[in-house]
A and B are shown apart, each in its own frame.
Chain A
Amino acid sequence: MSLRFVLTLHSHLPWVLHHGRWPHGSDWICEAALDSYLPLVAMLEQLEDERVPAALTLGITPILAAQFADPAFRDELDRYFAHRLETIDEAPASLRATGDEHLLPLVPFWRDHVQMLRNIWTRIDKDLNGEFRRHAQDGRIELISSAATHGFLPLLARDESIRLQLLVGRAEHARLFGTLPRGCWVPECAYRPSGPWHPAPDAPQTPMRSGTEAHLRFAGFGWFYVDAHQVDAGQSFDQYGGTVRPREETPGQRSPYRAYQVGIAPRGHRPVTALVRDPLSTEQVWSRHGGYPGDGRYLEFHKIRFPGGLKYWSVTDAAADLGAKQPYRPDQARAAAAQHAAHFQLLLDGLSAGAAPEDDAIIAPFDTELFGHWWFEGMDFLRFLYQDLTTNRAGGTGSVPSTAGAALAASPPRTSIRLAEGSWGKDGDFSMWMNAGTEWTWRRLWPLEARFWDAVPGALQRWDARPILEQAARELLLAQSSDWQFIISTGAAGDYATKRFVEHCEALERLMPFLEHADADIAAGSAIAAELFAIDGPFTDLGGAIAAASDIRTSR
């Protein structure tokens, strides 16, 4: 038998527009656009031209889509392109000055590459959302959404917050892409079942809380992704450590190659389904040790030449010191990508060969930014893979690419299970987001959640206060981005993440008095809201979503 192959790319960056440029700020999204998003567009275009079905499931978080739609992003990326081409123009002189003439042949390579991407950028009218929407409307890919700002849902103190994240996420997707997704990328695959909630000794007291699936159902989502360990379907993969976490095989362990209904849906309600990340295929692509990106022929991500910021070296040997890296050979790297694609097809065939009759699909979700940004040739790999799967060049059992929605429609879940709490992060739990270095963020956020939601019923009754309320919601959502805790935990740009988190909390604190007091000066509050909106202005029409999120049956 052959299993369906469901490749899912999850695209996300936090709100960085209007909050600095370099080293942290809008350059992040520009870099990701050049490294991953525009190469993805290029790959989809090429496969479209070749009439190769690329049944990709593409997640774009609402906050990323909001940035794609923001005129500031277009301006920033134009500037970024110009600067990048400028540095390429300056590169030959710079290389000669340091005696690195042997790297000169790579300069035209980079110029052609960047020029090609800029041509695409111009051709798609600087509208990434529109281009992805076009592919989705033509049925080549499936677009899915996520929580509005990629909030780490299990650690939010109020169910209203979780609902707002998901309601806004789905509605913004509809506004920007014209379709209502059933699929949701639950941030960090972070799930918690219904039950008591006490993530920290000093966390607010709450009544029994609903499981993540209930919130997804309320917001209109039908399925989401989980890691294998959450369904007891195998080892979990530590993508940040780059290893598969050893896990004892247990009798009756579930197959990751089929979907599971999460819990029992209330009578008449739509079930919510979990798609399980396949540990084996994930490891092959992700692992820095045994995985493809560690091949010596690929571009070395970590070694960057300054001035200019271009990369000229290959991985050479994953364990090698940066000084020992050899010049990059694009032709060899491209050949490696083709070989790895063929190998991956064999891996998929192997999984199919060992599949049980009830198995249906190999679910392979990755961060989009892995392809292109971290693994420069990743998009080539995917293009070769889709080509191989279409032609079945390897002559195997022939895994068929499928979108997640199509796979679920063809093979709905037949088993209902209770999911374990967990995420796809380090140690499979929440510790990447809740640890000694980030606890303070939650202690600051939780009371703010309470302040906001306690003020909502009164604030919604005052139509003139609506802009203040909506901006307060924006700041709450932005403060809830899981990125801040993640970045603090990795230590990569901790100061920036700390600053951003605090700024959004402070913005919310500035607005709250205007919502909490009936005699507040609404004009003054509206002026502050307008000032903040100019900086933090993603999402529209939040009033209805706030109303829907706050209408919750609770004994609180």
Chain B
Amino acid sequence: MNQTAAVSLPAIAGQSPMIVHLAAEYYPYARTGGLAEAAWGLHRDQHRSGLATMAIVPLYRAARAHARHLEAVGEPFTIQLGPTAETFRLWRALDPASETPTCFLEHEGFFGRAGLYGEGGVDYPDNYRRFAAFAAASVAALPRLTHGPVLLHAHDWHAALAPVYVRTWWRGNPWYDRIPLVLSVHNGGYQGHFPPEVMPDIGLPWEIWTPDKLEWYGKTNYLKGGLTHVDMATTVSPTHAEELRTPGGGFGLHDVFEWMGSRFTGVLNGIDQTVWNPATDPQIAAHFTADLIEGKRACKAALQRRFGLPENPFIPLIGFIGRMATQKGLDIIVHNTALFHFAAQYVFLGSGDRRLEESVHALHAALPSRIGVETTFADTLEHEVIAGADLYLMPSQYEPCGLTQMRAQRYGTIPVARRVGGLADTIDDGVTGFLFEAFDERAVVGGIWRAMTEHRSTAAWREMQREAMSRDFGWERVAERYIDIYGRAIALAAGRAA
């Protein structure tokens, strides 16, 4: 295990606190999107740096496959969640696949299901209660983890009620009152909106169903509840933090983000640079580095073969990986005549909206020698596309952070992306990639044209690749920023408790 330099947090009551992450997704146990890796990546670096840490994750059916060696943490415990008492059990992973201290919250009724959030494209109808239970039970279980102080770091709406429970159920309890509370918003578009009637069901008092707490346009908003009860909140990039403060980008919560002032800030996620390393990646056709880039040619040839495209080292190869969804910009790609008039090859990897999948398949049918499509996602393919493509296209409508553009840069694959969220913060226009402004077909064409122009010159392209590959997107600098944020949260909590 890598061990990074030891860091420390300000003391609470004379002791360094344990950082406890609450996340509905956590790598490798439960994963549908970026949340799992983001929560895990940050935690792993904190753990490696010597901090006392723990993650609490629901024990989903899927998670059991990765969590075989478990030890009970105390006896089962029961909490009264609104009308019914619910019994949980906390398990600690003995040899965690995550390489981080991890506990699982077991409740077969809530979490022992086939899906994380739903099945067959339909959300579970009791998600409001499942994740309220996850938050409430995790908070109740905190004293089982340590007798010392705790800093609670909740992730996204599924865990956002944890700070609310700390500040309502446990108010007046000196140990709980001292807990600094931090909430990370990985995707502000998902907030946990439920009818007002859920309030008694989740055991929360009507007194906090107010516009300055959980009420939101007549609904109960879990994310808003969390934001209005925490000491510090973060999102996954500085630009997205600014976007969330605007009426156009705040998903209806811009006034809350604005109200938080400097207590709400953006911190870029990182990527695992040991996994995403073209010099050692076992999933790609040949290894390469910024100084020895030749292997990338073999990766490109392999990718062209894999997608049935003519092997041609000179034609620019443009990759796209992601959900086939409007948010990812597929709508401004699939009918973009000008885009496909460029002398370039395209590969699309991902699944999603059936209409968009069909459109991409139709493109392939029309231009089989220039467009390759794979709608069955696989990790290996993701590595192959990132290693073999020359350009990586991310025309996102919004992108809170994004990870693939960072991975692509590490592989000398130049991103062409819209200037939003984390894309704006991780791509330096004209230096490590190309950014465009508008969310329309014209802007995508303009961005690709600029990239294709640069690609004409081997020397200029190599210079860009070298710059891109030298960028550090590791978790270390992210963890450093969080030390500052935790320090502020600790100070704020101390002031509150006093």
Taking beta carbons and an 8 Å cutoff, which residues of A are in contact with B?
Answer: 167, 170-171, 174-175, 178-180, 217-218, 220, 267-270, 456-457, 460-461, 463, 466, 541, 543-545, 547-553
Contact = CB atoms under 8 A, between A and B. Distances in A.
B436 A217 contact: no
Contacts of B459: 179-180
Contact of A463 (B338, B419, B457): B338
B442 A547 contact: yes
B450 A548 contact: yes
B99 interface: no
B438 interface: yes
Nearest to B444: A547
Top 7 A-B residue pairs of the complex, sorted by shortest distance between their CB atoms: A544-B449, A548-B446, A268-B428, A547-B446, A180-B457, A551-B443, A547-B445
B456 interface: yes
B430 A460 contact: no
A430 to B, nearest CB: 28
A544 B338 CA distance: 8
A460 B338 contact: yes
B177 interface: no
30 contacts: A167-B453, A171-B453, A174-B453, A174-B456, A174-B457, A180-B456, A180-B459, A218-B429, A218-B430, A220-B450, A220-B460, A267-B428, A268-B428, A269-B429, A269-B430, A269-B431, A270-B430, A270-B431, A457-B440, A460-B442, A461-B442, A543-B338, A543-B445, A544-B453, A545-B449, A548-B436, A548-B447, A548-B450, A551-B436, A551-B442
Interface residues of B, number: 29
Given A551-B438, A553-B419, 10 more contacts: A180-B459, A180-B460, A268-B432, A270-B431, A460-B445, A463-B337, A544-B452, A547-B446, A548-B436, A551-B437
A217 B430 CA distance: 8
B472 interface: no
B428 A269 contact: yes
B431 A552 contact: no
Nearest to B429: A269
Contacts of B443: 547, 551
Interface of B: 337-338, 342, 419, 428-432, 436-438, 440-443, 445-450, 452-454, 456-457, 459-460
A219 to B, nearest CB: 8
Contacts of B432: 268
A463 B340 CA distance: 12
A175 B454 CA distance: 11
A220 B430 contact: yes
A466 B441 CA distance: 14
Among B432, B449, B453, residue most surrounded by chain A Cβ atoms (within 10 Å): B453
Contacts of A456: 442
B457 A179 contact: yes
Nearest to B445: A547
A389 B337 CA distance: 56
B450 A457 contact: no
A298 B311 CA distance: 61
A456 B445 CA distance: 13
B338 A547 contact: yes
Nearest to A182: B460
Nearest to A547: B446
A551 to B, nearest CB: 4
Nearest to A174: B456
B450 A167 contact: yes
A549 B447 CA distance: 10
A496 to B, nearest CB: 34
A61 B452 CA distance: 21
B446 A549 contact: yes
A441 B52 CA distance: 72
Contacts of A180: 453-454, 456-457, 459-460
A381 B165 CA distance: 86
A156 to B, nearest CB: 19
A463 B337 CA distance: 7
Contacts of B454: 180, 220
B449 to A, nearest CB: 3
A171 B447 CA distance: 14
Contacts of B457: 174, 178-180
Contacts of A457: 440, 442
A209 to B, nearest CB: 16
A269 B429 CA distance: 7
Among B430, B431, B442, B460, residue most surrounded by chain A Cβ atoms (within 10 Å): B442
A268 B460 CA distance: 17
Nearest to B432: A268
Given A171-B453, A174-B453, A551 B447 contact: yes
Nearest to A546: B446
Nearest to A457: B442
A195 to B, nearest CB: 21
B215 to A, nearest CB: 34
A463 B335 CA distance: 11
Given A174-B453, A180-B456, A550 B442 contact: yes
B449 A268 contact: no
A47 B188 CA distance: 66
Nearest to B436: A551
B430 A544 contact: no
Contacts of B442: 456-457, 460-461, 547, 550-551
Contacts of B449: 541, 543-545, 547-548
Nearest to B335: A461
A551 B418 CA distance: 11
B375 to A, nearest CB: 27
Nearest to A459: B442
A175 B337 contact: no
B237 to A, nearest CB: 13
Contacts of B448: 544
A463 B336 CA distance: 9
A267 B457 CA distance: 25
Contacts of A543: 338, 445, 449
B439 to A, nearest CB: 10
Nearest to A463: B337
A238 B422 CA distance: 49
Nearest to A461: B441
Among A171, A178, A548, residue most surrounded by chain B Cβ atoms (within 10 Å): A548
Contacts of B337: 463
B452 A460 contact: no
A259 B49 CA distance: 44
Contacts of A460: 338, 441-442, 445
A463 B449 CA distance: 16
A497 B453 CA distance: 33
Nearest to B449: A544
Contacts of B452: 544
Contacts of B430: 217-218, 220, 269-270
A452 to B, nearest CB: 14
A314 B457 CA distance: 47
Contacts of A218: 429-430
A174 B437 CA distance: 25
A544 B445 contact: yes
B381 to A, nearest CB: 29
B294 to A, nearest CB: 22
B437 A552 contact: yes
A174 B456 CA distance: 7
A267 B437 CA distance: 18
B453 A170 contact: yes
A48 to B, nearest CB: 22
A539 to B, nearest CB: 13
Given A174-B453, A174-B457, A180-B453, A550 B446 contact: yes
A229 to B, nearest CB: 29
Nearest to B471: A268
A287 to B, nearest CB: 39
Contacts of B446: 544, 547-551
Nearest to A464: B337
B405 to A, nearest CB: 13
B149 to A, nearest CB: 37
A180 B450 CA distance: 12
A248 to B, nearest CB: 39
